[in-house]
Amino acid sequence: MSITSKPKTRKIAKISLKNLGKSMVFMISIGIAFPLLSASSAQASAPTLINYYQFEGNGIDSAGGPTATLFGSNGFGTGKYGSGYVSNGAFSGYLDMGTNVGLFGAQDFTLGFWFNSPHGSGHLINKRIDSLHFITFQLDSSGRIDLELRGNSPSLGNIFIAPVSSISGLNDGAWHHMAIVRSGSILSLYVDGQLSTIDNGIGDLDFNDPAYNTANFIFGGTNQYPGLSFFGSLDDLQIYSGALTQSQISGSMVTPFVAKKSGDEEKEKKEKKEKEKEKKDKKDSGESPSNKKKDK
């Protein structure tokens, strides 16, 4: 799969974490439908980019997923990279990716994107049609990121977790990156590439339920709650069918992560050796740039 990303030059903000134990990995990004797996069959594998919305004046998914439909009076304007989605906070304004985005099942996943809000709060992501099966991401009035996830666990029944970022003040009018990563029974939240919060309450939660699967994936607002739409700008939504590491998350903030295919490393080593041999052969035969100058 060929992905064309935007030209990017950026500095990654370093944020010190307080009151956290041992570091663990977590991130966010957005994508298309995942194969629905049971908790017992969900296996770790190389993360794959399944959705990549760049919002370059449209809602096209560069990874080949469904095109987002624009609702309301919002539109596209200045983003983190090139163009982005701009929301004025109107209830009727949001991007609708349809039902086939965010079908995580019991799999590991990563979801990440950039946001910029000068003040206030609102919904960033909302996929729900009932009160028992949903995923919701919000920016609260203090500028913290609030996550709410609810669904069925084979071992615990219907469970609800609500991790909150350890960092506040993110509604300061600057661009920030958020990512969530599910890795087995651990859910991690990253802010600007740094681990912010870890929650092990997700356990074996499986999102594969008709009520969840038939809900539309809403970005930048909500199609349910008046007055809770996001106010600000959003850009570069990425979703992966696997858990990215912290370094991969930091890299994805600039360019989407693409896992190397089997044999790529050996191929790269072989090509490097061939280039070194070619350079040595040229030097031995007197074809180096320094020798050419002497000949002249």
Q: Rounded to an integer, what distance in angstroms lies between the CA atom of residue 217 and that of residue 203?
A: 23
- CA 70-72-76 angle, to 5 degrees, is 55
CB-CB contact of 165 with 132 (8 Å): no
DSSP characters for 211-229? HHHTS--EESS-SS-TT-B
Task: Determine the pLDDT at residue 277.
Answer: 73
User: How do residues 235-277 score in pLDDT, each as one tens digit?
Assistant: 999 999 999 999 999 999 988 888 655 445 455 566 667 777 7
CB-CB contact of 136 with 128 (8 Å): yes
The two tokens of residue 235 are: 């850009």
For residue 110, which of 258, 255, 250, 244 has the smallest C-alpha distance?
Answer: 244
The two tokens of residue 263 are: 């044999």
Q: Rounded to an integer, what distance in angstroms lies between the CA atom of residue 121 and that of residue 113?
A: 17
Q: What is the mean pLDDT of residues 74-97?
A: 87
pTM of this structure: 0.74
Task: Determine the pLDDT at residue 19.
Answer: 40
Q: What is the mean pLDDT of residues 214-221?
A: 93
Task: Determine the pLDDT at residue 229.
Answer: 80
Per-range mean pLDDT, top range of 4-8, 97-101, 118-122: 97-101
CB-CB contact of 134 with 161 (8 Å): no
Q: For the stretch 160-178, what's the b/e string if a residue is b when 16 or more beta carbons lie within 10 angstroms of its beta carbon? A: ebebbbbbeebbeeebbbb
User: How do residues 132-191 score in pLDDT, each as one tens digit?
Assistant: 999 999 999 999 999 999 999 999 999 999 999 999 999 999 999 999 999 999 999 999
Amino acid identity for residue 248 in this structure = Q
